[in-house]
A and B are shown apart, each in its own frame.
Chain A
């Protein structure tokens, strides 16, 4: 706006701006319980939002995943942090347990065509497979998280009706998933469609068991996440550095960047227990290792390109 000033070098550095001058910085101490209650600020937003970091799995899925056992065994497990792994079937489940997994995830879809193209069976058949997994998991006291893909649109079917999302979510919740992550797989959703879909799902599942997994393919992720948390959703999936492109639109972005989500939540005064700077460092690390540019705008604005 106006003329471009030449005094760029006199600007406050980003560290100064973010830490001292603006409200962004270290978050408040994390809450005592892992799963938050239903306390809301007077403004109607939750006090606390749990971030589920999907970068290492969903983000790096485009890279080789054959080393899952080594990864599970090799990581340093911090107390109070969950390390769920995706297990599409009983065989995957057994491998995961053998490798030391203490939490697993299963994924369904709200679209028949997507299911067919992805795992070559109907929604109903996939639910049956997951029932085997969740039954075994329950026997071993292993918590199971459920994902529902194509919650706001399908690359093959197009529009997805909210009632279908609610139906699949309910089935996953009834079989014992403690949380259902609703995924806008191709990122086509907007705040309006997010609201309609959540209204339908919230008739079947308590909001405390819901999460949103928004893709930023059309730049709508943060607006959609804001809408979801305005409706009481307290769990958000994201990927450090926005890792993971969209396999359905070449060159397009996929997951929303954890750094950008944190920036927004910090600005709203919502506690996450997450240190934005450390996430930025982790993002910088993985992008250097992958030799790719970060998809996080916060990181782009902060690090010298």
Chain B
């Protein structure tokens, strides 16, 4: 489902302020033949303002959140998850959800989904003007129990209420599946379980399923195994990956998820090397890599959007995103949070 700015032309990357030759050169789009069986474009779902900020210690004022989202809207990102309509008792950082959603500039062609954990949240979201919502399941019983005190089956029943209401209001719903490559409580997660939960959420009416490596333990091998199982149940066009960088594996895992044309036949040794062929073309990431991992103290969480965009552009894949503007948004929010960016691209560009 192509949305937002992908349909607009972004013919040239703006050179970094330092205007060093290598940065411009590395951002120059290459011929798609060199990239083999990679998608020509990737939709980036920016989760910084919600998933990112939700896991940051310091509470961010409403106006700062609004400014961040506005800056992100300027970058060309097609989807920006704005906030979460969850009880402030549980997530104080998202207490200002209504003000944020109503305060942001809604750019044409950009989606601003919000998380809605239950029917009450959904109704509040729609009343506040939400045009798209997200719900989340998990591939782990223990994780679901610890998180929302019920079984996977019960959680899906709760979400079916949201799905019915969303269907009646013509509001698209995005589904998240947590712990797809490992669980902080159960450890190993069977790919078949991930496929089962994904299938259920897709059948309930979610237009897209975002598969989350919640604790970042996955590697290209486990990513491939999991996606192979899920793709038997859900079409690849409805899949997204949400990789955490806790063990530094996020970009390698994302790369594997992107590579696909469904066959293993190869004319040359080089072609054979892109054997891991998955074909996902939607990737979640967080500006500045906002959002640490709540399960490993001091560890990083979300992959940084800047680093993801750097890789995709280097591969000649179109994202519609202006990396320079994205970096500026990241610098802005890190200053506001008084924290160092987790993006290596930004660190390398001497903007801390």
Contacts and interface: CB of A to CB of B under 8 A. Distances in A.
Question: Is chain B a partner of chain A in the same complex?
Answer: yes
A220 B22 CA distance: 15
Interface string B178-201: 100010111110000000000000
Given A4-B91, A249-B348, A153 B25 contact: yes
A232 B311 contact: no
Contacts of A158: 20-22, 24-25
A64 interface: no
Contacts of B297: 304-305
Interface on chain A toward B: helix, strand, loop, or mixed SS?
loop
A266 B316 CA distance: 30
B25 A217 contact: no
Contact of B23 (A157, A188, A189): A188
A270 B295 CA distance: 27
Interface in B53-82: 54-55
A43 interface: yes
Contact of B185 (A10, A188, A225, A296): A10
A21 B252 contact: no
Contact of A12 (B23, B35, B184): B184
Contact of B251 (A17, A195, A220, A305): A220
B184 A302 contact: no
Interface residues of A, number: 71
Contact of B272 (A3, A23, A44): A44
Contacts of A43: 275-276
A11 B185 contact: yes
Contacts of B296: 14, 300-302
A195 B293 contact: no
Contacts of A266: 219
B247 A297 contact: yes
A219 B308 CA distance: 9
Contact of A264 (B246, B249, B315): B249
A232 B350 contact: no
Interface of A: 1-5, 7-8, 10-12, 14, 16-17, 20-23, 43-44, 153-155, 157-159, 186-193, 195-196, 199, 216-220, 222-223, 225-227, 230-232, 246, 249-253, 257, 260, 263-264, 266-269, 296-298, 300-302, 304-305
